Structure 1
């Protein structure tokens, strides 16, 4: 006989996992649509915020296609927020796992309006390039929370144990930090380039050539560290983290190729948009590597030490400081 409570619990977990994944996808989508706003020069299509115009919350015929594009991007924010709200409600209904999942669900849900407020400030500051960069980085922070939430939904509720030795966990942490630095420097490159989001928007005053070179140097460092992580994971037989590192390298190389082509073709809008999507994919692949170095083991399946020989098992947990 089927246990109804267990079946309902299983279906609930599957549903929550799908909604959590949808949240990740939606947060990538809003970065891409936000890029479309900037690349089409529609950043001030709605010249004020939270209204679209001084007299209307929605776009008007006088605003033309730029107003439609900007207002449509604002509507995407509501869709992303509704998905996050659905995830939060499901977590609240899941009593056995509520305590474990609630902090991340709340972080995603609250991060979306916070990111929206920063987007409003970009409009009110007439697309100040530093604020525009902060807007993008806020999206990356919410994407991190959404990814962490999705991973946590699929995990059991046991303790966290490392899957690789401590030095390799520190290496993956360094990869994550450098990946974040690449994103930050990338916003400086954007702020110095031609795609301001509006013809009258200011630039950050940095030299496009020099800041692009700094960005490229950071990317080379990231690829080198990712390669080191791949070789190191293979050396210790950590197949999961090694696979995650290889995926990250592949995404980085694809993103680097797009960046190189767009630089030498004078930043065509389509390639710049693809590069923004690539930034999200690199970040997600970085997070996948970071989270692959640890796992949660169900408490009911933890091995006991009595009567068992663990002399041939690497004691990663005992050597881990984190």
Structure 2
């Protein structure tokens, strides 16, 4: 996502570009979202899903893991700590975005909503005794703040919406993570937790693309048939990741040896997972060949996507033939998030900023 390949259509708009400090934070936020897929995978693949038996505390008496919990407690708590890092980075990107678009009034409103959300969440926990209910109230306050500030933002609503969606997603992820522990690693909730992490990777990638682009109206930069085929490919990508999540939910790596799977046949699901994967590879090959022949704007990112998908296919075949070794499964999980991020760039490269002329 370098600036040389995303040059603005009109040089006069360069002054409106996002500041370097915000770009750096946006990159850190994106990287953190990818890393947390890896740490979450480590929790599952090492059987540490219930390393901390409680939420938000690790044990009924301690916020942090105790020596009695062993390595599983530290792995699970490490992933929870990473959630805090992701949240702080998302909040920093939001604040700098508001400052960048000179929305100081909206920033003040955000602060008041944050204060009100904390107070209401604390009161809810005190009355109900449920941390889940408290976090749900805080999430509602975050959503309300997003709606109010986006409606009155003076500029760059695209960046503001994306930054708010990441903040909302991180808070929601914390809530889902807590429910995951409290339900004893329900496989469907665990799968949703992973899919949500991939969605956050997509959102942070989209923010980076739009941050590098010049603001203002955009126009289609590829033939209509190419844009349609790209969106069809996105369906294949979603189907591949979704089938992969379902397959993992029924495999040997459930996060804890005592967790009951969903009851589906993992061997059959592995084949089902491969079908949309091969369709995805074929469609990506077709898009790359067309982009190469016509010299279309998304070409560079299609080549990157093709490379990631090819590696994914190879890793998938090797892990299936070798009894799903933990390391390869973890690599497969992270690469799925990376492929979704790269495909996001491809989709956003279908359009370009409209020249002021």
Q: Which position in structure 1 is the counterpart of 2:315?
A: 258
TM-score, structure 1 as length reference: 0.87
Q: Which position in structure 2 is the counterpart of 1:74?
A: 80
Instruction: Work out the CA distance in 1 between the residues paired with 2:234 and 2:48.
Output: 33
Q: Which has the higher mean CA deviation after the structures are superposed, 34-43 or 243-252?
A: 243-252
Instruction: Work out the CA distance in 2 between the residues paired with 1:78 and 1:205.
Output: 34
Matches within 5 A, 1:128-143: 128-143=186-201
Displacement after TM superposition at 1:278 (Å): 1.2
Inter-CA distance 149–188: structure 2 relative to 1 (3 Å threshold): same
Q: Is the 8 A contact 1:176 1:287 kept in 2?
A: no
Displacement after TM superposition at 1:136 (Å): 0.4
Matches within 5 A, 1:57-136: 57-95=63-101, 97=155, 99-136=157-194
Q: Is the 8 A contact 1:175 1:225 kept in 2?
A: yes
Q: Which position in structure 1 is the counterpart of 2:150?
A: none
Q: Is the 8 A contact 1:39 1:269 kept in 2?
A: yes
Q: Which position in structure 1 is the counterpart of 2:243?
A: 185
Matches within 5 A, 1:211-222: 211-222=269-280
Q: Which position in structure 1 is the counterpart of 2:111?
A: none
Structure 2: gaps spanning 5 or more residues: 1-14, 103-154
Instruction: Work out the CA distance in 2 between the residues paired with 1:78 and 1:109.
Output: 12
- Equivalent residue of 1:251, what SS? helix
Displacement after TM superposition at 1:237 (Å): 2.8
Matched, 1:39 2:45: yes
Q: Is the 8 A contact 2:26 2:93 kept in 1?
A: yes
Q: Which position in structure 2 is the counterpart of 1:302?
A: 356
Instruction: Work out the CA distance in 2 between the residues paired with 1:95 and 1:113.
Output: 24
Displacement after TM superposition at 1:265 (Å): 0.6
- Provide runs of 4+ in structure 1 moved above 6 Å: 9-12
Q: Which position in structure 2 is the counterpart of 1:149?
A: 207
Displacement after TM superposition at 1:98 (Å): 5.1
Q: Is the 8 A contact 1:175 1:286 kept in 2?
A: no
- Equivalent residue of 1:194, what SS? coil
Measured against aligned partners, the alpha-carbon deviations of 1:47-101 in whole angstroms (never above 9, x if no partner) come to: 1211111222221222121111101110000001111111111111113545442
Q: Is the 8 A contact 2:17 2:215 kept in 1?
A: no
Count of residues in Structure 1 that have an aligned counterpart in Structure 2:
292
Measured against aligned partners, the alpha-carbon deviations of 1:92-121 in whole angstroms (never above 9, x if no partner) come to: 111354544211111111111111211111
Q: Which position in structure 2 is the counterpart of 1:281?
A: 338
Instruction: Work out the CA distance in 2 between the residues paired with 1:228 and 1:100.
Output: 30
Matched, 1:168 2:226: yes
TM-score, structure 2 as length reference: 0.78
Q: Is the 8 A contact 2:206 2:345 kept in 1?
A: no
Q: Is the 8 A contact 1:144 1:287 kept in 2?
A: yes
Q: Which position in structure 2 is the counterpart of 1:6?
A: none
- Equivalent residue of 1:295, what SS? strand
Displacement after TM superposition at 1:158 (Å): 1.7
Instruction: Work out the CA distance in 1 between the residues paired with 2:162 and 2:18.
Output: 17
